[in-house]
Amino acid sequence: MSENEPFIGIDLGTTNSVVATVIDGVPRVIASRTGQTLTPSIVAVARNGKRLVGHMAKRQAITNAENTAYAVKRLIGRRWGSLEVEDARKVLPYELVPGPEGADIRAMLGGRAFAIPEVSALVLAELKADAESFFGRRVTKAVITVPAYFNDGQRKATRDAGRIAGLEVVRVINEPTSAALAYGFGKQMEKKVVVFDLGGGTFDVSVLDVGKSVYDVIAVGGDTYLGGEDFDRRIIDWLVFSFAQEHEALDLRQDKMALQRLRDAAERAKIELSEGQQAAIHLPFLASGSDGKAALHLDRQLTREKLEDLTRDLVDRAIAVADRTLRDAGVRVSQIGEVLLVGGMTRMPRVQQAVKTFFGREPSRGVHPEEVVALGAAIQAHALLHPQKGKEVLLLDVTPQNLGIMVVGGYFATIIPRNTTVPTSQSHLFTTVQDNQTTVRIAVLQGASDKAMENELLGEFVLEGIRPARRGEIEIEVTFDISADGIVGVSARDSATGTRQSITVTATSGLTESEMRRILEENLDEQLTRRQVGDFERLRDRTRTVIVEIEALAPAVKEALARSRFGKDAVLRAEEVVARARAAMESGDLQQMIGVEEQLDRALQLFKGLAGGAPPGGKGA
Ligand code: AMP
């Protein structure tokens, strides 16, 4: 690629997303076309069928809750029917349905089923468009971040989202590592750093050894179901419960619009309580009473103390994960040189206090918690795409969860233990368990349990053509490869015959290759229509200006024609062209607009000439 081909780093968050780049060696956040640095990770289909993304989608969320998808990061790469998904379905105002294979999840928006990576792709495409507007040219190369605790399926699905958005994802990196990169940028430090990242939907903690040019992740831990959304939910539950007590057990959660208003109000109150001690929650006309007529209003005061009460266990859970991760890393609290707070939720004073108490030191707030991850991603993109001699930065990340296969008895055999540095490749020998067994089914799993069923199934394949023999006689070598992205490839080989089967584990992304192609094609159509809409709008604005000019010249032209023998019908013809142009503007049809453009231009030139302006073809025309 050329030295100045633009590239971006994207923090694809649960609540908000951020895009950044590096310019002249300096990482910086790219503001959206409307001037904001955070783009809500929200996608909606409006009543007129139009797709809305970001702030536009957020603004209409209350009145169109059932067609507005938010927090899809909690669903990406997950399986239909899993506990987490069942839990999410209870509170999400938009409908979830199983995908065609029954394995993944689709969100129903405006009557169409969207694969989750497709929803994320719309957010990514919006950020890409913001970057393109900033650079004034096409941008394709990107590094995207994911929670360190994301498994293979979640990573793969995030990569798919990038592909659907028209991005070439050069690397998927972990959010805490990315934050550390941005923090350490240009600092020449050497210490152990803990990144405590509590975002909108996920919690991640990483312990890193940061050297001058090496970022060595020693251990990661986390919970992909712990974040700001859970704090909001506690407030919502509290409001719903007390409302039900007052109003004959009326359950506000049954009303999607009321639920969306509660969500907004809960988040606002939570954020207010990071500054003040009290937040007023006032939601007029939230429901109607049992007679169906009287309007019911909700009015509550939430104190900081009450909020802390409602969410104490969530904070405790995060600290417990931090504790376990430190132990995994074999690092004592006293050895930690820096604790970085990342993610919007770490602005909550109680969270900061808990971190301070646990680590026995003031956490660092020298970085912007919402932007630091995207900045790190941009730094990584820069390092990968424009490696500079002598300035290389080595990023050594680890795999977050045990990886292995199911063995006889339904047990889980770990092949690569968690916190192993990636990329890595490891093999293990297994044997057949039945006499004359000619096939073996390899189920690839990721998780912490020694029971296969309790772990996440990443994919399965069958090794065939094994030489018939007594059980235990045949050796099968199973090899796991994990790329620097954390994406898993598995192969199995019959040591005797050399028969080999392999897969890149793709199952949980949910999208088959043919489906992916269909989505890519559809997306292209959508982009094309969008471009046409954009072109039409530009042309319409220009046409409007030309008409104004023509009309302004008309009196002078008429006066000139009164004294001339030529061009008597010019005004009539111009009027005709203007009428046609107006009709084209009304039609919304790009071709019609293009058709009339030239005639309109000619009419303007003629008018300019007739009115005594510059003659056609003359200077200053
Ligand atoms: P992130 O994914 O890092 O953008 O984090 C978003 C989460 O942080 C959301 O749940 C927000 O409600 C929450 N958040 C943002 N600002 C604050 C604040 N000042 N106090 C508490 N929570 C906040």
Look at residue 493 and tell me if it is in a domain.
Answer: yes
pLDDT of residue 593: 76
Q: Look at 167 and 531; give whichever has higher pLDDT.
A: 167
- What value does the mean pLDDT take over residues 1-28? 89
Look at residue 619 and tell me if it is in a domain.
Answer: no
Q: Is it the case that residue 48 has pLDDT exceeding 90?
A: no
| Alpha carbon distances (Å) from 430 to 53, 442, 555 | 49, 11, 93
- In whole angstroms, give the CA distance from residue 71 to residue 236: 16
- What value does the mean pLDDT take over residues 172-187? 91
Farthest-apart Cα atoms in the chain, separation: 112
- In whole angstroms, give the CA distance from residue 583 to residue 576: 11
pLDDT of residue 133: 87
Residue 291 annotated as catalytic:
no
pLDDT of residue 4: 72
Q: Look at 3 and 91; give whichever has higher pLDDT.
A: 91
CA 345 to ligand 1 centroid distance, Å: 4
pLDDT of residue 621: 30
Same domain, 203 and 252: no
CA 16 to ligand 1 centroid distance, Å: 9
CA 200 to ligand 1 centroid distance, Å: 6
- What value does the mean pLDDT take over residues 362-382? 89
Q: Is it the case that residue 291 has pLDDT exceeding 80?
A: no
Kindly report the backbone phi and psi dihedral angles of residue 241, in degrees, each rounded to the nearest multiple of 5, phi listed first: -65, -45
pLDDT of residue 366: 60
Same domain, 392 and 409: no
Same domain, 495 and 588: no
CA 14 to ligand 1 centroid distance, Å: 10
Same domain, 335 and 463: no
Same domain, 529 and 594: yes
Tokens of 19: 């895009």
Beta partners for 141?
7, 168
Residue 197 annotated as catalytic:
yes
Ligand 1 atom with the smallest distance to the CA of 16 is 4
Same domain, 211 and 240: no
Look at residue 530 and tell me if it is in a domain.
Answer: yes
- In whole angstroms, give the CA distance from residue 520 to residue 117: 12
Same domain, 48 and 140: yes
- What value does the mean pLDDT take over residues 228-234? 96
CA-nearest residue, atom 20 of ligand 1:
271
201 CB under 6 A from ligand 1?
Answer: no
pLDDT of residue 568: 67
Ramachandran region, residue 54 (left: φ > 0; alpha: ψ -120 to 50; beta: rest): left
Same domain, 187 and 327: yes
pLDDT of residue 504: 59
pLDDT of residue 295: 86
Ligand 1 atom with the smallest distance to the CA of 273 is 20
- What value does the mean pLDDT take over residues 21-47? 94
- In whole angstroms, give the CA distance from residue 284 to residue 281: 10
pLDDT of residue 617: 42
Q: Is it the case that residue 198 has pLDDT exceeding 60?
A: yes
Please, are residues 146 and 11 in contact by the beta-carbon 8 Å criterion?
A: no
pLDDT of residue 305: 98
Look at residue 157 and tell me if it is in a domain.
Answer: yes
Look at residue 515 and tell me if it is in a domain.
Answer: no
Same domain, 324 and 267: no
Of 361-365, 389-393, 400-404, least confident by mean pLDDT is 389-393
416 Cβ contact partners less than 8 Å away, ≥ 6 residues apart: 399, 402, 403, 404, 424, 426, 480, 482
pLDDT of residue 185: 87
CA-nearest residue, atom 3 of ligand 1:
343
347 CB under 6 A from ligand 1?
Answer: yes
Beta partners for 40?
16
String of DSSP letters for 177-232: HHHHHHHHTTT---EEEEEEEE-SS-EEEEEEEE-SSEEEEEEEEEETT-SHHHHH
Q: Look at 507 and 108; give whichever has higher pLDDT.
A: 108
Q: Which one-letter DSSP state was computed for residue 30?
A: P
Q: Which of 481, 505, 529 is the last residue of a domain?
A: 505
Tokens of 253: 């959660």
The single-letter code of the amino acid at 386 is: H
Catalytic residue among 118, 126, 197, 267: 197
- What value does the mean pLDDT take over residues 562-583? 80
**Residue 178's pLDDT band (boundaries 50, 70, 90)?**
very high
Residue 535 annotated as catalytic:
no
Q: Is it the case that residue 491 has pLDDT exceeding 90?
A: no
Q: Is it the case that residue 471 has pLDDT exceeding 70?
A: yes
**Residue 616's pLDDT band (boundaries 50, 70, 90)?**
very low
Q: Is it the case that residue 9 has pLDDT exceeding 90?
A: yes
Of 43-52, 336-345, 411-420, 557-566, least confident by mean pLDDT is 557-566
CA 87 to ligand 1 centroid distance, Å: 21
Q: Provide the number of structural domains found in the chain.
A: 4
Ramachandran region, residue 271 (left: φ > 0; alpha: ψ -120 to 50; beta: rest): alpha
**CATH at residue 379:** 3.30.420.40
- What value does the mean pLDDT take over residues 210-236? 92
Ligand 1 atom with the smallest distance to the CA of 370 is 3
Residue 569 annotated as catalytic:
no
pLDDT of residue 510: 65
- In whole angstroms, give the CA distance from residue 335 to residue 296: 56
In this predicted model, what pLDDT tens digit does every residue of 321-370 receive, in sequence order? Answer: 999 999 999 999 999 999 999 999 999 999 999 999 999 999 987 668 88
308 CB under 6 A from ligand 1?
Answer: no
pTM reported for the whole predicted model? 0.80
Q: Which of 312, 327, 349 is the last residue of a domain?
A: 312
204 CB under 6 A from ligand 1?
Answer: no
* Mean of per-residue pLDDT scores for the chain: 88
Q: Is it the case that residue 408 has pLDDT exceeding 80?
A: yes
Q: Is it the case that residue 26 has pLDDT exceeding 60?
A: yes
Beta partners for 68?
44
**CATH at residue 272:** 3.90.640.10
Same domain, 427 and 566: no
Look at residue 2 and tell me if it is in a domain.
Answer: no
- What value does the mean pLDDT take over residues 57-70? 93
Catalytic residue among 11, 160, 204, 370: 11
Q: Which of 312, 344, 362 is the last residue of a domain?
A: 312
CA 72 to ligand 1 centroid distance, Å: 16
In this predicted model, what pLDDT tens digit does every residue of 113-160 receive, in sequence order? Answer: 999 999 999 999 999 999 988 888 889 999 999 999 898 889 989 999
- What value does the mean pLDDT take over residues 8-14? 97
Highest mean pLDDT among 439-443, 516-520, 568-572 belongs to 439-443
Look at residue 616 and tell me if it is in a domain.
Answer: no
Question: Which spans in 49-151 are helix H?
Answer: 55-59, 83-91, 116-135
Same domain, 88 and 202: yes
Look at residue 558 and tell me if it is in a domain.
Answer: yes
Ligand 1 atom with the smallest distance to the CA of 342 is 3
Bridge-based pairing state of the strands 456-463 and 440-446: antiparallel
Neighbours of 235 (CB within 10 A): 26
CA 423 to ligand 1 centroid distance, Å: 33
Mutation test residue for ligand 1: of 15, 70, 73, 233, the one with most atoms within 8 Å of CB? 15
pLDDT of residue 382: 94
Same domain, 280 and 325: no
Q: Which domain holds residue 203?
A: 7-226+317-396
